[in-house]
Structure 1
């Protein structure tokens, strides 16, 4: 069940400037290279954080086989819970940020190198994203599940990030006309979806912690 449980957190990963950026890049001058570079940068940083968190979780006793034994499992669940609550507070605190950052206006003339760095930093080290990736890694470690169970979470996140460029590739001008409307909707409502997903994962973590 672990794979199914962590998949919804992909929605939390892309909420905010993380999904708004590829929408801008999909209409940039070098949109193919920029979009690919953004997704590639994101894939490296997300995977890095998840794997490091998983290894640290295992070393502390994830699944009962770490240095501290099975008793550390409860500690790992507590860590996951604290991280998720922090993500929920951060998401709620920024719910009224209706305008994207000013630097996003420059993405239409961005270079692939800049797009790669942006994807790497946003998806790897944006506060809610690093918290979410760490939560996934430690959650899998606490359950004694293989780190490969995070592959679905990573791939789904990357697929959503690639959707704007895939839309332009398939639909052309129709997608370019629709993207600004999608961008505005995501900017206004994505925090609600993120909060629902976080609450569901908090409930799952509490069940494991108390059960």
Structure 2
């Protein structure tokens, strides 16, 4: 059940510059190499943060396979704090209608730059690091294997790869379609993110008091 519960948080991971960047990269000169490098960088950083959070969560168990009751409750509280921070940060940035100026340079980006961008955005962007930590600690609190995070990571990467897949399938038509998707995501993604965070808060509260 843990896998199904953490999957929706992939939507929170990609809201904002995280999904806008691969849209720009998909229309760059070296779009194949740039998009691949971006997704690979994201894979490494997300996996790293989730893994560290999971190990830290399991350390409360004193070496046993599962956490004690008090340790579980503490981890659930940590997850709730992280989620509330993510909700506040998402709401605070809801009116940011224009992408950062540096995104305009992505059409001439290099694979090396794209890799660094994917690694930093998906691993250390405030909302993303909080979300990945929430997933890792949540799985640890439930005594679930860290492999249950694989679906969360893969779904996040799949969404990030969609712009380049769209170019591959649609060809030149993607040049008119992607900007429309970008504008919609930029204006409405925060609402979806807040809904997903609220859902995860409810699930965590049920585990905490159930």
Q: What's the TM-score, normalizing by structure 1?
A: 0.97
CA distance in 1, matches of 2:165, 2:106: 18
How does 1:1-211 map onto structure 2 within 5 Å? 1-61=1-61, 65=65, 69-211=68-210
Distance 1:50 1:131, change over 3 A: same
Distance 1:104 1:93, change over 3 A: same
For residue 99 of structure 2, give the secondary structure of its aligned residue in structure 1: coil
Off by >4 Å, runs of 4+ in structure 1: none
Q: Structure 2 stretches of 5 or more lacking a match?
A: none
The offset of 1:62, in angstroms, is 8.9
Q: Structure 1 stretches of 5 or more lacking a match?
A: none
Once the two structures are superposed, residues 20-65 of structure 1 have per-residue CA deviations (whole angstroms, 9 ceiling, x without a partner) of 0000000001000000000000000000000000010001129974
The offset of 1:174, in angstroms, is 1.0
Distance 1:108 1:31, change over 3 A: same
Q: What's the TM-score, normalizing by structure 2?
A: 0.98
| Structure 1 vs Structure 2 CA RMSD | 1.4
CA distance in 2, matches of 1:60, 1:97: 39
CA distance in 2, matches of 1:140, 1:60: 13
Give the aligned length.
Answer: 210
The offset of 1:69, in angstroms, is 3.3
CA distance in 2, matches of 1:64, 1:169: 48
The offset of 1:70, in angstroms, is 3.1
